[in-house]
Structure 1
Amino acid sequence: MEIDEARGGVAQLVKEARHGAKQTQAKLAERAGVSRATVAAIETGARSPSWEMLTGLLAAAGQQMRIELEPLDDDVRRALSAQVGDTQVADDLSMTVSLMEGLTGLDYRFEGLAAAAVVGAPLPLTEPIGLALPDGPEAVEWLAALLRTGAAAVTPVGHPYPLGGVRTAEGVARLVDLGEDGRFLLEFWLRTFVVRFVPAAEAERAVTVVGEHAPLRVQPLHEIESTDRNAARVLRLLREQTQDARD
């Protein structure tokens, strides 16, 4: 059995066991019947040991493993339960939205893990926050007007510095053309958003969450995906709980 998922933890485990036994890598390798290079690779996370090799290394350091079992995803279920009724993320983000005059009049939506955090996922509101704007003159004019106030700055994704002079529809078009996949960073009141224009029908697909200072439109939970293993577990459990509540 390979232990790829816990490679970083295994590396630290072996290193701590060796240090606790006051052994060099060479000494531990000799006692465990492996090469020093193998021990070094495991301790740096470059190699995942088999279960047999791991227990052998720990035994050579005078240690043994004790494994505790808990119900599948029980840690996530506890975190979800603790999050019930906590509106801090939605309230904080709604303050920013309330200052972005005119945004609530658009069919915008927050996307990705930020949207999940707003609807109750026990995840941090990390930046940049995904923001989708409906592709059309109203959203373009809203963005240009926001930039004309001087309170916001935009940077095409892939560029090292903000783009100045974006005050008209033509400026917004240039901003979109310069950004990778048409995306750009929007900095406003100590928040950073990664923005993209999407078809109106896509932006309209949103769930409204009531924040303390303004309503928030967020991407539906079933559309949110993540390559992060922990976030994916949280999303799966949150979807299951939402479905159970509907049933």
Structure 2
Amino acid sequence: MLRAVLAAAGKQLHAELEPLDADVRAAIARVAAQPIADRKAVMHWYWLRGYVGADYRVEGVAAAELLGAPLPVDHLDIALADEPAAFATLVCPPSEFWARLSVRRHTWSFGYPRLRLGADDREIAKAVAGLRDVLRDECPDGTFWMANAGCRARVRLVPPDEVGSYVEVATPEGVVRVAPLHEIESTDPRVTRVLRVLREDATTARPGERSG
């Protein structure tokens, strides 16, 4: 029946076999051929890096994109060590602008202690303590959103040892710490498929190594 309908319209079906996951591998190859600066995660990192403490790692889809996955990215997921030093760059960033913090992505930002460049250690310690109090009240689950210049990150406060496992990705905006490929997970079947192919190819490229 379908063939007759198509024939009446001057059309026909044509099926062509291709290797499994060939479309994903072709997309991965296109990403690899482009400058890493073109990846959306790099743009978000450029505008937010000044607010991120030294002990962190980028996770989720953004981490996968930085590692070469052809996936859409509209924010970063950052695991940040929950320790005083991690908050110093938020209360006293290396620029004249402060990040906007909010409980959820599209809610109003909340206030927190802010200092100008040149603040001394005592002032910074006091502001950091104040910020931690604010986060404890506003974000009891330890998760908040950070924004600047239209770029966003969902920040998750974690024990310091949780960010100890990472790989470094060199970008024009400096080295970015990202979660290892075998630790990146997703509930989205499309993302899961891309991650699986990336892991398979990584194993093939490095015989004898485990991809996780």
- TM-score, normalised to structure 2's length? 0.76
Runs (4 or more) in structure 1 with deviation over 6 Å come to none
| Match among 163, 188, 198 for residue 148 of structure 2 | 188
Report if aligned partners of 1:110, 1:218 keep a CA contact under 8 Å in 2: yes
- Return the alpha-carbon distance in structure 2 between the equivalents of residues 70 and 154 of structure 1: 47
Q: Which residue of 2 aligns with 1:62?
A: 5
When the two structures are aligned, how many residues end up with a matched partner?
Answer: 186
Question: What residue ranges of structure 1 are gaps of 5+ in the alignment?
Answer: 1-55
Q: Which residue of 2 aligns with 1:213?
A: 173
Q: Once superposed, what is the RMSD of the aligned Cα atoms?
A: 2.7
Q: Deviations over 1:200-238 (max 9, x none)?
A: 111121110111121111111111111222111110000
Partner-residue secondary structure (3-state), 2:58: strand
| Match among 81, 84, 87 for residue 140 of structure 1 | 87
Report if aligned partners of 1:157, 1:184 keep a CA contact under 8 Å in 2: yes
Report if aligned partners of 1:94, 1:212 keep a CA contact under 8 Å in 2: no
Pick which of 214-223 and 168-177 moved more: 168-177
Report if aligned partners of 1:163, 1:175 keep a CA contact under 8 Å in 2: no
Q: Deviations over 1:1-50 (max 9, x none)?
A: xxxxxxxxxxxxxxxxxxxxxxxxxxxxxxxxxxxxxxxxxxxxxxxxxx
Instruction: Return the offset for 1:77.
Output: 1.0
| Partner amino acid, structure 2, of 1:234 | V
Partner-residue secondary structure (3-state), 1:185: strand
Partner-residue secondary structure (3-state), 1:95: helix
Q: Which residue of 1 aligns with 2:198?
A: 238
Partner-residue secondary structure (3-state), 1:62: helix
Report if aligned partners of 1:176, 1:183 keep a CA contact under 8 Å in 2: no
Is 1:80 matched with 2:28? yes
Question: What residue ranges of structure 2 are gaps of 5+ in the alignment?
Answer: 7-11, 115-126, 208-212
| Largest Rg, 1 or 2 | 1
> What is the 5 A alignment of 1:166-185?
166-167=113-114, 168=127, 169-179=129-139, 181-185=141-145
Q: Deviations over 1:33-82 (max 9, x none)?
A: xxxxxxxxxxxxxxxxxxxxxxx7x57x9248654432211100111122
Identical aligned residues as a percent: 38
Instruction: Return the offset for 1:114.
Output: 0.1
- Return the alpha-carbon distance in structure 2 between the equivalents of residues 242 and 157 of structure 1: 35
- Return the alpha-carbon distance in structure 2 between the equivalents of residues 145 and 197 of structure 1: 19
More helix by share: 1
- TM-score, normalised to structure 1's length? 0.66
Instruction: Return the offset for 1:110.
Output: 0.8
- Return the alpha-carbon distance in structure 2 between the equivalents of residues 82 and 116 of structure 1: 15
| Match among 58, 66, 74 for residue 118 of structure 1 | 66
| Partner amino acid, structure 1, of 2:47 | T
Is 1:96 matched with 2:47? yes
- Return the alpha-carbon distance in structure 2 between the equivalents of residues 73 and 133 of structure 1: 35
